[in-house]
Homo-oligomer: A and B are copies of this chain.
């Protein structure tokens, strides 16, 4: 890497340094992310290149950095249609910086050195986005709910972020697309790669209309530890994380955990308690780690600014009873369900005069609320429920 030529080139020098560090360090390696967030990529790069031991980082990273050419990395990425977005770029999603204040998990954490991005969607437009994540081995119930929820959220103008995995992730992306909404995939492998293979069409679609994002440089393979690092980005890029289905040890719960520690809302969609695919979500809801949502409208309500997205309070359809006067309802309350009762008994039960009650009963009979037989007045088979 060559040194920066002047102040105007500071950002590009930083980009070159971070591109090389990104090639040499694993995504989310806290030995690198923490220091870089503190002292910057150029200083970190210089220190490592001089083989000074920084926070126990093996000095052979210095040798590897020397063998890496940031300019070549960036050119190669550009040829693949990728850009490398770093702090200081107008496009940089500032939510990622919050990762600096959150403890690592399995030695992964901190703000990413940068994001390798494919696709036209600018990352600063992701602000206010919603992460929709869940089980790979989802059920048809979860699939339908995820697609519907993502569509509602996307229709409201919010970007849907997920991981492009099988199951819930896939339905989240395609649900958003079906609503002509915007959606972003955060991958554990290089953003140029097609993983999983079966999602080649989805990824092509995202590359053409949305964005595919990764902390790992182009060409990197999906590795277990990269999935863990990736999950923290999904949480940090979004205003809240919705878990649709998740078994007890699902990776989606790892994303939810990151969101919670970032103090972003965690939302969970319940399902049948008999479904193992919902057990992880129920655990999350039970422990108070998440707010229950039943669909996209609930999500918008929880995430929206005060009054911005007022939830439609679910209402039962108007019942015939609702159209009665208070007095009529009072009389109706005194009428038995089964065996009939005489008007004076109804009057006593209702706490009203018998003459008035008789008149009201006749009116209620006309409009079909009560009926009369030999034993007296009684309700029709009204649902008590």
Contacts and interface: CB of A to CB of B under 8 A. Distances in A.
Given A251-B385, A271-B272, A273-B269, A221 B336 contact: yes
Given A248-B315, A292-B286, A316-B247, A223 B384 contact: no
A145 interface: yes
A292 B270 contact: yes
A332 to B, nearest CB: 7
Interface residues of A, number: 63
Given A223-B336, A273-B269, A286 B279 contact: no
B314 A286 contact: no
Given A286-B292, A334-B223, A339-B221, A274 B385 contact: no
A18 to B, nearest CB: 19
Contacts of A348: 64
A360 to B, nearest CB: 15
A223 B333 contact: yes
Interface stretch (A90-98, A133-141, A203-211): A133-141
A14 interface: no
A335 B271 CA distance: 35
How often does this chain occur in the complex, in copies?
2
Interface string A357-385: 00000000000000000000001001111
A137 B282 contact: no
Interface string A26-68: 1000000000000000000000000000000010000010000
A306 B350 CA distance: 46
Interface string A264-290: 000001111110001100110110000
B274 A224 contact: no
Interface centre among A58, A141, A221 (most CB of B within 10 A): A221
Interface in A184-230: 189, 195, 197, 221-225, 227
A320 interface: no
A299 to B, nearest CB: 11
A1 interface: no
27 contacts: A58-B351, A136-B383, A136-B384, A141-B274, A165-B384, A189-B338, A221-B341, A222-B337, A222-B338, A223-B336, A223-B337, A224-B333, A224-B382, A224-B384, A225-B334, A227-B384, A247-B316, A248-B315, A269-B273, A270-B278, A271-B271, A272-B272, A279-B314, A282-B292, A285-B285, A286-B292, A286-B293
What 7 A-B pairs have minimum CB-CB distances, sorted nearest first?
A: A270-B270, A221-B336, A273-B294, A225-B333, A249-B316, A136-B385, A286-B292
